[in-house]
Structure 1
Amino acid sequence: MTALSDVLIAVAVIVLVVGRQLRARRLDTERRFWLIPLVLAAVALRDPVLIDPDHRAASVLLVAGSLLTTAGMGCVWGWTVRIWREADGSLWSRGTTATAFAWVGALLVRAAWFGVGAALHVHQSGSVLLLSLGLLLLVRSVAVQWRARQLDGGHALAA
């Protein structure tokens, strides 16, 4: 895939996910929250130049650092979501203003990693963006599911 197609896929997923997260929605604990992240990771990992062959060590460090900070941002995002129980017993969630700031922060952190790579003259594949986005969505979903279980008194909810 080209870098442009990677960016377009990422933008489409971000618009879809952010739009959904900022509206109150019933929390479906039986949903396969890992499916979109898995697809994004599969697409990203098919890229033969995910790691710059001319700067292998720096490239691996950049990708690893990016993924580590992305996981942290996913945790932050998951904790900014408001979760509550309605009178009928159903769980609901809605992103807050902090959720929007968490998205902006995640994008800024990703841009900073890209800037570091550019300063080091390391080629950075657009697939890293897809891989990061998949990880961000996965960690956020795990955090929200965990919080929902805590709200439910620790009873296991279907993942």
Structure 2
Amino acid sequence: MNSSVNVLVGLVVVAWILWRQTQKRPVREDRRPTVLLILLVLGVLQLTTFFKNASSSGPVIALLVGSLVLAAGFGVVRGYTVRLWRQEGQLFRQGTWLTILLWLVGIGVHIGFDALIDSSAKGLGTASILLYLAVSLGTQRLVVQSRADHAVRV
């Protein structure tokens, strides 16, 4: 996929994620990570296509790994900003304004990595956006689920 398509797909996915974050939803323990798996597969495909035409030098790989570590870090922090509450015996969750702000900052930092990369790997940020989203969303989900599991026991 070219860079414009990557950006468009990334924007659509980000808008969908942000919308879903603000919705009141029940916490379900039997939930399968279907969306995460789709994002992960598409993200790996995007990166594979990108690296067919770009350098995969040590610094580029280090920036990619660093970005994914930041994705996980933002996911952990966001996981603690999600509001959890019990209503009529059911546990619910909903992202807050801080959750959304952290999503936007995290994505900005990820895309900002492109500015640090030399011309041989320009576009790595957009080529890896779906993988970044999968890692970040997955980490946030683990934290929220852990908090929910603790809330159920208490």
The bucket for the TM-score relative to the shorter chain is 0.7 to 0.9
Residue in 2 that maps onto 1:71:
72
- Give the Å deviation of 1:80: 0.7
Output the CA distance in 2 between the equivalents of 1:152 and 1:35: 24
5-14 or 139-148: bigger deviation: 5-14
Aligned-residue sequence identity (percent) comes to: 27
Q: Counterparts of 1:96-107 in structure 2 under 5 Å?
A: 96-107=96-107
Asked whether the 8 Å contact 1:51–1:59 carries over to 2, the reply is no
Q: Deviations over 1:82-119 (max 9, x none)?
A: 011112x11101111211211122122113212212xx
Q: TM-score, normalized by length of structure 1?
A: 0.84
Q: Distance in 2 between matches of 1:149 and 1:51?
A: 43
Match of 1:10 in 2: 10
SS at match of 1:28: coil
Residue aligning to 1:40: 39
Distance 1:91-1:42 versus aligned 2 partners, 3 A rule? same
- Higher mean displacement: 13-22 or 59-68: 13-22
Q: Is the 8 A contact 1:45 1:127 kept in 2?
A: no
Determine the structure 2 residue equivalent to 1:19.
19
Higher-helix-fraction structure: 2
Root mean square deviation, CA, Å: 1.9
Q: Deviations over 1:11-36 (max 9, x none)?
A: 1221112112112222222221x222
SS in 1 for 2:138: helix
Q: Does 1:93 align with 2:86?
A: no
| Equivalent pair of 1:58/1:122 in contact (CA under 8 Å) | no
Alignment check: 8 A CA contact 2:21 2:100 kept: no
Closer/same/farther in 2, CA of residues 43 and 23 from structure 1, 3 Å limit: closer
Superposed displacement of residue 53, structure 1: 4.8
| Mapped partners of 2:68, 2:103: distance in 1 | 15
Corresponding residue pairs, total: 150
Q: Return the alpha-carbon distance in structure 2 between the equivalents of residues 53 and 74 of structure 1.
A: 28
2:149 matched residue in structure 1: 149
Report if the CA contact (8 A) 1:52-1:122 is conserved: no
CA drift of 1:121 comes to: 2.8
Unaligned runs of 5+ in 1: 155-159
Q: Is the 8 A contact 1:73 1:106 kept in 2?
A: yes
2:124 aligned with 1:121: no
Q: Residue 54 and residue 99 in structure 1: after superposition, are their counterparts in 2 closer, same or farther (change >3 A)?
A: closer
> One-letter code of the match for 1:82?
R
